[in-house]
Amino acid sequence: MRKLALTHEILMQVEKPARYLGNEINSIHKKPTDGMVRFAMCFPDVYDVGMSHLGLPIIYDMLNRRPDVWCERVYSPWPDLDKIMRDKNIPLFALESQDPIKDFDFLGITLQYEMCYTNILQILDLSDIPFHSKDRKESDPIVIGGGPCTYNPEPIADFFDLFYIGEGEISYDELIDLYKKCKADGKSRNEFLVEAAKIKGIYVPSLYEIIYNSDGTIRERRALFDAPLTVRKVIVTDFASAPYPQKPIIPYMKIVQDRAVLEIMRGCIRGCRFCQAGSVYKPQREKQLKGLLSLAKKILDNTGHEEICLSSLSTSDYSELKPLILGLINECNKRKINISLPSLRIDEFSLDVMKLLLDVRKSSVTFAPEAGSQRLRNVINKGLTEEEILNGASKAFIAGWNKVKLYFMVGQPTEDYDDLAAITELCEKIAMKYYDEIPKEQRHGKIQISASSSFFVPKPFTPFQWAAMLDRDEYLNRAYFIKDNFRKTLNNKSLHYQYNDAETSLMEGVFARGDRKVGTVIETAYKNGAMFDAWTEYFDFDIWKDAFDACGVNMDFYTGRSRSVDEILPWDFIDVGVSKAFLIKEWEKAQMAVPTENCRNKCAGCGAAGFGGGICIEG
């Protein structure tokens, strides 16, 4: 029988004890044997959030198919338990076995968003693993980073032994086989890392030296021990047959996304110039209809979830969406299960499907124009005209909806106050559509329009990677301007506007485009109390400002500065398949507000065809 790492007395003192018990339905338990590789897969945030993420379950299921590997899960202890563990010197443990993380062979940390970086140090700290790779002993786990933030791993490079760049289904088997061989041959930790750097998609930061110019930019990147100068991402080209969990773990408590997830597609054809995911997950690849319907049935049989969600960057672009939805409706109606359809473009088909699936009186339709003016939508290559937005809204109102959500982004390249004013004008036009086209006796109450804006954060491997961010005050001035305009509208009681936190956005901007000098800031901020920075109630900007000052690092160097296209960027050594020449061309077209057609209509020659799969070779 398992012995819990936490006593009943401790569990009674924390907010949600179920976060730390493990032993959930469909969790995988094995008996450790000689030669078995122990792998702790970590999501550096609270259980409620981490259990809602799709990538970790895919790797968990895939690794546990090997009889010589036991992959377990670990999440960040919430601050209430964090304090108890420090006070009582309790080591961080994996959920399945409840064994200390320090005893594992590997600690894999998925990096889904930049604001989790201090939680990486929390995980290492509570596990008694040295923060820096260079300080780790032979007995310490190999610390691996994976996920979208590895497309610029440099701010956290010192904390990791290696990074896995690309999709996890490809190189893990080779990496584990190499580890077992090196261990059997008596090779050291460093010898293993040198050999691991030869595996596709694997980046070992300690094998590189960064030389800086006097102005703080990068002059040269030197590879040591014959490490490759370029690391190319790995992706699944035969996506239809990629491994996928048929028995997802069922938590004993409510989590953020408590539902079955069916991944239908990776990548996107749209080419929005601010979107990192659309670039680094190229090319778009689909799963086959028959396989998806079969997989959905197995997942529902094995979970008992009351909702299934289709996962992709742009669900409407899945080529067999209509038969997929009809097949799911047939299966889910029998089970009385809801179907969730995020990332839909609002057109007639989408609205017809939504009307079948949703109670229109309770639900809302969502548009993501990202910009108010057509000029700025052309700059960002949104591929959505005002006419399409208004026609979509009109169809939604005729179908019975009176609630609309709109998502915008403030501070994008070339934006001016006319573009900001256009946000209010667009929302007002949508409201007027409702009152002009829906007779009073057919309305379900007043129109309700909720608009929200995030602040623009330039990301690596996008055409906007060279752009400057605005400072905190200017971001807020622009948000206040929009809010004031909303108050002046004819339908101001029906229009609501809110905006994201500007300080968090600035920090995200530093981490997204930072270099190795930022790592000292992260470590200093953590030691001064920064943790759970993605949570508003725990984020403290003053801690971060003090850390930048203490380390002599200028935040504005990473946020407020435009880059020239010939500057060596911290992530230039990574090859995502999308060429730098293409990104420069798109950056130049953005300055002229010239859009680019989507991949399905016309190939733009981005370079992703070099992977030999997906939409690049269809037909």
Model pLDDT for residues 244-288, shown as the tens digit of each residue: 999 999 999 999 999 999 999 999 999 999 999 999 999 999 999
Predicted pLDDT at 1 = 61
Task: Let me know how many helices (H) and strands (E) the chain has, helices first.
Answer: 20, 19
Tens of pLDDT along 544-559? 999 999 999 999 999 9
* CATH number of 321's domain: 3.30.750.210
Q: What percent of the chain has pLDDT over 70?
A: 99
* DSSP 8-state class, residue 576: -
Predicted pLDDT at 174 = 98
Mean pLDDT of the chain: 95
pLDDT band at 371 (very low <50, low <70, confident <90, very high): very high
DSSP string covering 455-517: EP---TTSTTTTPPPPPHHHHHHHHHHHHHHHHTSTTTTTEEEEE--HHHHHHHHHHHH--TT
- Side-chain-side CA neighbours of 610 within 13 Å: the count stands at 12
* Count of residues in the chain: 619
Q: Quick one: 109 and 200 in the same domain?
A: yes
Interatomic CA distance for residues 533 and 117, integer angstroms: 8
Tens of pLDDT along 583-599? 999 999 999 999 999 99
Q: Quick one: 251 and 192 in the same domain?
A: no
Q: Quick one: 23 and 171 in the same domain?
A: yes
Q: Quick one: 270 and 287 in the same domain?
A: yes
Residue 61 pLDDT greater than 70, yes or no: yes
513 lies in a domain? no
What is the average per-residue pLDDT within 558-571?
A: 97
Residue 143 pLDDT greater than 80, yes or no: yes
Tens of pLDDT along 305-360? 999 999 999 998 999 999 999 999 999 999 999 998 887 777 777 777 777 777 66
185, 28, 339, 305: CA torsion to nearest 10? -170
Structural domain boundaries enclosing 320? 237-343+583-619
Interatomic CA distance for residues 104 and 108, integer angstroms: 10
Q: Quick one: 257 and 169 in the same domain?
A: no
Where a domain ends, among 176, 207, 232? 232
Where a domain ends, among 181, 197, 232? 232
Tens of pLDDT along 500-543? 999 999 999 999 999 999 999 999 999 999 999 999 999 999 99
Q: Quick one: 205 and 72 in the same domain?
A: yes
599 lies in a domain? yes
Task: State the Cα angle at 50 between 44 and 55, rounded to 5°.
Answer: 100
Structure tokens at 313: 């960057």
Nearest in space to 445 (alpha carbons), one of 366, 389, 362: 362
Report CA torsion sign: 146, 51, 19, 36.
negative
pLDDT band at 361 (very low <50, low <70, confident <90, very high): low
Predicted pLDDT at 619 = 54
Interatomic CA distance for residues 64 and 96, integer angstroms: 12
Residue 452 pLDDT greater than 90, yes or no: yes
386 lies in a domain? no
* CATH number of 204's domain: 3.40.50
Q: Quick one: 218 and 263 in the same domain?
A: no
Predicted pLDDT at 343 = 74
Residues 6+ away with beta carbon under 8 Å from 312: 263, 264, 265, 266, 318, 343
489 lies in a domain? no
Where a domain ends, among 202, 232, 262? 232
Q: Quick one: 93 and 154 in the same domain?
A: yes
> Out of 31-35, 67-71, 160-164, which region has the weakest mean confidence (pLDDT)?
31-35
38 lies in a domain? yes
> Out of 41-50, 153-162, 305-314, 453-462, which region has the weakest mean confidence (pLDDT)?
305-314
β-strand partners of 9 = none
Interatomic CA distance for residues 171 and 153, integer angstroms: 18
Q: Quick one: 69 and 194 in the same domain?
A: yes
270 lies in a domain? yes
Q: Quick one: 196 and 339 in the same domain?
A: no
Q: What percent of the chain has pLDDT over 90?
A: 91
Tens of pLDDT along 170-197? 999 999 999 999 999 999 999 999 999 9
3-state helix vs strand vs coil in the chain, percent to 5 = 40, 15, 45
pTM (whole model) above 0.75: yes
DSSP string covering 9-34: HHHTTSS-GGGGT---BT-------T
Interatomic CA distance for residues 598 and 616, integer angstroms: 12
Q: Quick one: 189 and 330 in the same domain?
A: no
Interatomic CA distance for residues 601 and 619, integer angstroms: 13
Predicted pLDDT at 350 = 77
Residues 6+ away with beta carbon under 8 Å from 54: 261, 263, 311
Residue 449 pLDDT greater than 70, yes or no: yes
Q: Quick one: 126 and 105 in the same domain?
A: yes
Predicted pLDDT at 221 = 97
In 385-475, which ranges are E strands?
Answer: 403-410, 448-455
117 lies in a domain? yes
Number of domains comprising the chain: 2
397 lies in a domain? no
Predicted pLDDT at 277 = 97
